């Protein structure tokens, strides 16, 4: 098991998730084991690579829509991590019907109720930009 | 196994190994207390090794073992010569095919004679089947009458190759007979081939390394083309007013510099031009003396996407610009002295250095200097820097808004196209004056 190889691979996948949001969750999952990867984690990472190879040409399409509204969709799986029972937040923002930002992130606290507070900070960031 | 003596005047241990018949001193001593010295160890070891290699040979020809147990256990010499004999009785059964990718007679003979060292040579023909497109392998598969199911055979061969790789590990039992330097164990030609590339790509690849790039200045000065490239670069730097020649003030340390040579290729592999670039050795700079701040902002991907989305919705025009030698435009605030570029230090007096006025590639503050210069120019032109993202410059004009984004999208990008300006303007807006 080559640790550096795994870290390099995950780093490249993180870079890829700048344009490929469909692997965002999977990449966030495997990047939690950067410090001590095992064979199973490498298999998972290679599985993502397989997926990428199987689905070339996917990306974000910016097209013309009627609306100029800012929409955001958020979700959280309640205690999704089997290791420490933390939740994972996911959100994506649409500006004028086009996808602008997204994220899949494990929350830093153990949530006792499903909390989707991430949305606020992100909406603020968008407001700041415009 | 040797006689040891601990010496008082040295930190090592004096040894007398019987085979060498002389004393020597070493600190690197491993004590093996489990084995007795007086055991007739030499014969014992060789026997043990033979046993192990026999076991290993069993593993190597894993598929045959199953059939042998069906027929009953055979004495070891025959087992070692297994690959020759065993396939014949099982020719009818399809489960265990003959190992096709290797020349069987040659192999078996080696195994019978010299058990320990034959393994390396065996691995070479075996590694053939890693390459799928190898014509040799395909020939063998198609001409093999035993096996009708090709895919099945291929899988088995693969598993055999894996066993082989594992086998390489325990061979280090005895040292001193290294044969691997003669032939590469897994030659590159087995894994890499130019077969499937289009011809243009092939010529490009083969041309890539045909012209060597010089690594030192003296090498480059011999070649007229490189000399020319260096002259062009020096001329450009002079024209850009990058430095002035001064004598080095006392107490100042000059930063080193070096030439970096690259060849630019066209798509068909022919050489486009020879490129020489003067690069400052930024690693010799010290914080507080040569540089203070080095942070330079980089465009956020989110901002870029927001603007792309807006451009799509409002039908804006997008233009993309590239600033050549962007870093060379940055103005330095600090006082930096640099050594004269090697190859051009003959004409002036000793002790003369370049006092840098403009930034140079390799300096730590180059990106910051370039961004500072850019910000200044943009503000003078009436653009307002956004507070949310400092790399975004906005200007509202009467006819329409003009937005400018200054990127360097990411670190990886920044080496390729360091200095793309993305300029967005409304259709009826005027062309922005750039730089």
Nearest CA in chain A to B316: A64
| Assigned domain for B211 exists | no
Q: Would B208 be classed as within a structural domain?
A: no
Tell me the C-alpha distance between A17 and A27, whole Å.
8
pLDDT in tens, A21-38: 888 889 988 888 888 888
Of A86-90, B122-126, B202-206, B252-256, the range with the highest mean pLDDT is: B252-256
Tell me the pLDDT tens digit for each residue of A97-120: 888 888 777 777 666 655 555 555
Nearest-angstrom CA–CA distance, B125 and B101: 7
- The whole domain housing B223 covers 217-425
More confident residue, B14 or A124: B14
Output the pLDDT for position A95: 81
So what's the pLDDT on residue B283? 83
B131 torsion bin: left (phi>0), alpha (psi -120 to 50), beta (else): beta
Would you say residue B199 lies in a domain? no
Q: B30 φ, ψ to 5°?
A: -110, 125
Q: Is residue A63 part of a domain?
A: no
Region B125-133: mean pLDDT is 43
pTM of the model: 0.52
Q: Is residue A45 domain-shared with residue A93, that is, in the same domain?
A: no
The single residue listed with the structure tokens 């690197």 is B28
CA dihedral B353, B358, B361, B366 (to 10 degrees): 120
Answer whether residue B210 is part of any domain: no
Contact B306 A129 (CB under 8 A): yes
- Together in a domain, B274 and B405: yes
B102 inside domain: yes
> Is B203 inside any structural domain?
no
Asked if B105 and B84 touch (Cβ cutoff 8 Å), the reply is yes
Query: Higher model confidence: residue B270 or residue B102?
Result: B270
d(CA B315, CA B427): 8
- Assigned domain for A59 exists: no
Neighbours of B263 (CB within 10 A): 18
Q: How many domains does chain B have?
A: 3
Residue in chain A closest to B308 (alpha carbons) equals A62
How many structural domains comprise chain A?
A: 2
Last residue of a domain, one of B141, B171, B190: B190
Q: A69 and chain B: CB distance < 8 Å anywhere?
A: no
Question: What is the β-pairing status of strands B392-396 and B401-405?
Answer: antiparallel
**For residues A43 and A77, is the Cβ–Cβ distance under 8 A?**
no
| CB pairs A-B closer than 8 Å | 52
At B216-239, the pLDDT tens digits run 777 777 888 888 888 888 888 888
ipTM of the complex: 0.79
In-domain check, residue A61: no
| Residue A77, domain extent | 70-129
Tell whether the torsion through CA atoms of B201, B206, B207 and B213 is positive or negative: positive
| Alpha helices (H) along B144-259 | 150-167, 199-208, 217-222, 224-239
Is B430 a domain residue? no
Test mutation, B309, B316, B409, chain A, max A CBs within 10 A: B309
Confidence band for A49, pLDDT divided at 50, 70 and 90: very high
**Alpha-carbon distance B133 to B193, whole Å?**
9
Please give the residue of chain B at the shortest CA–CA distance from A18.
Answer: B301
Those of residues 31-60 in A touching chain B at CB distance below 8 A are 60
- Per-residue pLDDT band for A47 (boundaries 50, 70, 90) equals very high
Residue of B43 and B295 predicted with greater confidence:
B295
Same domain, yes or no, for B133 and B266?
no
C-alpha A123/C-alpha A101 separation (Å) is 10
A75 and A47: one domain?
A: no
pLDDT at residue B319, rounded to an integer: 67
Q: Identify whether residues A75 and A124 lie together within a single domain.
A: yes
Name every chain A residue with its beta carbon within 8 A of the beta carbon of B306. 95, 100, 126, 129-130
Same domain (yes/no): B272, B365 = yes
pLDDT of B136 reads 44
Query: Among residues B373, B290, B372, B292, which one has the least CA distance to residue B338?
Result: B290
On whether both B25 and B169 belong to a single domain, the answer is: no
- The reply to whether A130 touches chain B by the CB within 8 Å rule is yes
Residue pair B171/B116 in contact (Cβ under 8 Å)? The answer is yes
Over residues B50-95, the pLDDT tens digits come to 444 444 444 444 444 434 444 444 444 444 444 444 344 444 444 4
Alpha carbon separation from A83 to A86, A110, A111 (Å, rounded): 8, 11, 14
Q: What is the pLDDT of residues B102-124, one digit of tens each?
A: 444 444 444 444 444 444 544 44
Band of residue A51 on the pLDDT scale cut at 50, 70, 90: very high
Q: Can you tell me the distance from the alpha carbon of B202 to that of B195, in angstroms, rounded to the nearest whole number?
A: 9
Q: Same structural domain for residues A86 and A120?
A: yes
Looking at the fold, whether A42 and A18 belong to one and the same domain comes out as yes
DSSP-derived secondary structure letter, B263:
E
What average pLDDT score do residues B254-265 get? Answer: 84
Average pLDDT, chain B: 63
Any domain includes A60? no
d(CA B259, CA A32): 42
For A59-108, the pLDDT digits (tens) are: 888 888 877 777 777 777 777 777 787 777 777 878 888 888 887 777 77
Report chain B residues touching chain A, CB-CB < 8 A.
301-303, 305-306, 308-313, 315, 386-389, 392, 410, 412
Please give the full DSSP string across A31-77, using - where no structure is assigned: GGGSSS--HHHHHHHHHHHHHHHHSTT--------S---EEEEEEEE
């Amino acid at each position: 098991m080559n640790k550096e190889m795994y870290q390099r691979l995950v780093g490249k996948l993180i870079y890829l998730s700048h344009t490929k949001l469909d692997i965002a969750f999977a990449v966030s999952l495997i990047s939690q084991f950067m410090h001590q990867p095992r064979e199973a984690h490498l298999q998972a990472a290679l599985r993502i690579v397989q997926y990428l190879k199987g689905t070339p040409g996917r990306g974000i399409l910016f097209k013309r829509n009627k609306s100029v509204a800012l929409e955001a969709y958020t979700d959280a799986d309640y205690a999704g991590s089997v290791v420490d029972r933390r939740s994972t937040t996911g959100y994506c923002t649409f500006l004028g019907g086009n996808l602008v930002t997204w994220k899949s992130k494990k929350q830093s606290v153990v949530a006792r109720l499903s909390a989707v507070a991430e949305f606020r900070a992100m909406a603020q960031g968008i407001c700041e930009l415009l | 196994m040797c006689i040891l003596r601990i010496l008082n005047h040295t930190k090592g241990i004096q040894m007398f190994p019987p085979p060498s018949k002389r004393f020597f001193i070493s600190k690197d001593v491993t004590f093996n207390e489990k084995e007795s010295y007086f055991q007739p160890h030499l014969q014992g070891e060789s026997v043990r090794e033979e046993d192990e290699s026999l076991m290993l040979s069993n593993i190597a020809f894993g598929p045959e073992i199953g059939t042998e147990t069906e027929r009953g256990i055979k004495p070891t010499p025959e087992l070692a010569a297994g690959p020759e004999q065993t396939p014949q009785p099982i020719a009818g059964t399809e489960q265990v095919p003959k190992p096709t990718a290797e020349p069987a007679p040659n192999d078996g003979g080696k195994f019978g004679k010299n058990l320990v060292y034959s393994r390396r040579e065996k691995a070479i023909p075996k590694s053939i089947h890693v390459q799928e497109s190898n014509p040799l392998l395909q020939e063998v598969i198609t001409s093999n009458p035993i096996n009708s199911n090709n895919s099945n055979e291929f899988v088995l061969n693969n598993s055999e190759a894996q066993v082989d790789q594992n086998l390489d590990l325990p061979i280090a039992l005895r040292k001193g007979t290294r044969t691997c330097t003669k032939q590469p164990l897994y030659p590159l030609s087995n894994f890499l081939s130019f077969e499937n590339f289009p011809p243009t790509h092939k010529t490009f690849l083969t041309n890539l390394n045909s012209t060597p790039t010089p690594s030192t200045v003296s090498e480059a000065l011999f070649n007229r083309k490189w000399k020319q490239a260096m002259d062009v670069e020096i001329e450009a730097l002079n024209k850009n007013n990058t430095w002035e020649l001064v004598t080095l003030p006392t107490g100042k340390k000059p930063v080193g510099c070096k030439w970096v040579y690259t060849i630019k290729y066209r798509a068909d592999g022919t050489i486009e031009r020879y490129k020489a670039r003067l690069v400052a050795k930024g690693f010799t700079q010290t914080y507080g003396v040569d540089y203070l701040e080095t942070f330079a902002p980089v465009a956020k991907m989110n901002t870029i996407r927001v603007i792309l989305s807006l451009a799509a919705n409002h039908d804006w025009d997008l233009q993309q610009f590239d600033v050549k030698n962007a870093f060379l435009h940055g103005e330095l605030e600090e006082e930096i002295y640099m050594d004269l570029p090697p190859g051009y230090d003959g004409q002036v007096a000793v002790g003369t250095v370049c006092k840098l006025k403009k930034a140079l590639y390799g300096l730590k503050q180059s990106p910051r200097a370039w961004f500072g210069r850019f910000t200044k120019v943009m503000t003078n032109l009436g653009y307002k820097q956004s507070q949310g993202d400092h790399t975004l410059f906005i200007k509202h004009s009467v006819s329409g808004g003009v937005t400018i984004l200054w990127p360097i999208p990411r670190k990886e990008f920044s080496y390729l196209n360091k200095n793309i300006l993305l300029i967005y303007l409304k259709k009826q807006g005027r062309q922005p004056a750039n730089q």
